[in-house]
Structure 1
Amino acid sequence: MDSLQNHLLIAMPSLHDTFFERAVIYLCEHNEQGAMGVMINRPIGVDVNELLKQMQLDDFHTIEDINSQVLLGGPVAQEKGFVLHSPQSQWSNSQQISNELMLTTSRDVLTSLGSNNAPEHFIVALGYAGWGRHQLEQELGENSWLSIPVDHDILFNTPHDERWIRATQSLGFDIGQLSSQTGHA
């Protein structure tokens, strides 16, 4: 099995009327035990600045950025926050995903947002998407998802409502023309 860690999962049109309709998920982890990722294109209607106020963090600076919206990261543990960001090693609970990205779940990274100590790029999400052992491989085999290597422009610079279409366009064909049926020769 090739790991899809540090890839984007793109929901196929066949996932309409599901939680993952038109979802784009950044895969933080993919191994023999399963997979974990953060949906990067579903704002929940709460600004990061508002979240920081609700958390009663006093020393934050107002963030005015394309990624200043809190995202719904997935259906699992929606009360838990995740910050996907450019590398910085000073946070208390971070996982290095690639040379360009880290995932932090500790509160200390939130206090830095909007300040000179903040990561250059970041996404704040509540919850995550998770798959058990071989579950993602099964869903890929059922043509529920396509994957592409991560594109940092899609991740950090593309408006949320355009991320699915930008990710599908990067495949080089019209995703609407694909069949959701699997074939066997």
Structure 2
Amino acid sequence: MSGMTEVSSLTGRLLVATPALADPNFDRAVVLLLDHDEEGSLGVVLNRPTPVDVGDILEGWGDLAGEPGVVFQGGPVSLDSALGLAVIPGAVPAAGRAVGGPAAPDDQGACEPIGWRRVHGAIGLVDLETPPELLAAALGSLRIFAGYSGWGPGQLERELTDGAWYVVESEPGDVSDTRPEGLWRAVLRRQRSELAMVATYPDDPSLN
């Protein structure tokens, strides 16, 4: 495992499924990586809305969830568990200042709202045990996920080597996109590289 200790963290980046990825769980998926190191990876699929309203499973959080106000399927693992992601406008790392809502200083000197832990930039995980009203004033957007996507040690690296994923930068708007069915194309289209051309790839390659 000595070589694995050199894994460069992709936490906060997006995994965008390539057209070659055969796993139906991740067809045209856009995954936000919440954790990535030599011990494995964890993320949530941003573009898999379900028909279930957030308010039907989490009392108090439904009114705070952005449109569409439904639960998203974050991946095939632990579908009976809920995970919250929120964008906090103005919540920046210690190099700047955080604004809005009740806050507590973190170990880097920046302020973060109670019940929210930064993943990358203004995107962070929500502790769903926190009373929703404590976060309401600070929230820019909230999305609730059932389940998550997980990879064991070295598994994601192998998939990247096999060409299953494109790795691109995330933006706060990816968590709150009101048209998740178009997110795969939208993320590729904004790339200033040949990836922008992949956005035109047909849903059925046989039609090309």
Segments of 4+ moved more than 3 angstroms:
59-65, 115-118
Per the alignment, residue 50 of structure 1 pairs with 56
Greater Cα offset, 117-126 or 127-136: 117-126
> Structure 1, residues 69-126: CA drift from partner, whole Å, max 9, x if none?
21000011111111011245312xx5421231211343326x349x844622111101
Q: What's the counterpart of residue 65 of structure 1?
A: 66
Distance 1:132 1:162 in 2: 29
Give the superposed CA RMSD.
Answer: 2.5
Partner amino acid, structure 2, of 1:156: S
Aligned positions of 1:5-16 closer than 5 A? 5-16=11-22
Identity %: 28
Equivalent position amino acid for 1:138 in 2: R
Moved more, 17-26 or 141-150: 17-26
Match of 1:166 among 183, 186, 190: 186
- Against the structure 1 CA distance between its residues 65 and 122, is the aligned structure 2 distance closer, same or farther, given a 3 Å change threshold? closer
Distance in 2, Cα, partners of 1:153 & 1:117: 19
CA separation of 1:147 and 1:73: change in aligned 2, threshold 3 A = same
Q: Answer whether contact 1:48 1:63 (CA < 8 A) is retained.
A: no
* Residues 29, 35 of structure 1: 8 Å contact kept: yes
Indicate which of 40, 44, 48 corresponds to 2:46.
40
Equivalent residues of 1:60, 1:112 under 8 A apart: no
Partner residue in 2 for 1:135: 155
The TM-score, its normalising length taken from structure 2, stands at: 0.71
C-alpha distance in 2 between matches for 1:61 and 1:35: 29
Counterpart pick for 1:22 among 16, 23, 28: 28
Tell me the distance in 1 between the aligned counterparts of 2:151 and 2:171. 22
Distance 2:62 2:26 in 1: 33
Instruction: Specify every segment of 5 or more residues in structure 1 that has no aligned partner in the other structure, as ranges.
Output: 178-185
What is the CA–CA distance in structure 2 between the aligned matches of 1:149 and 1:60, rounded to whole Å?
A: 28
Q: CA deviation at 1:16?
A: 4.3
Partner residue of 2:85?
A: 84
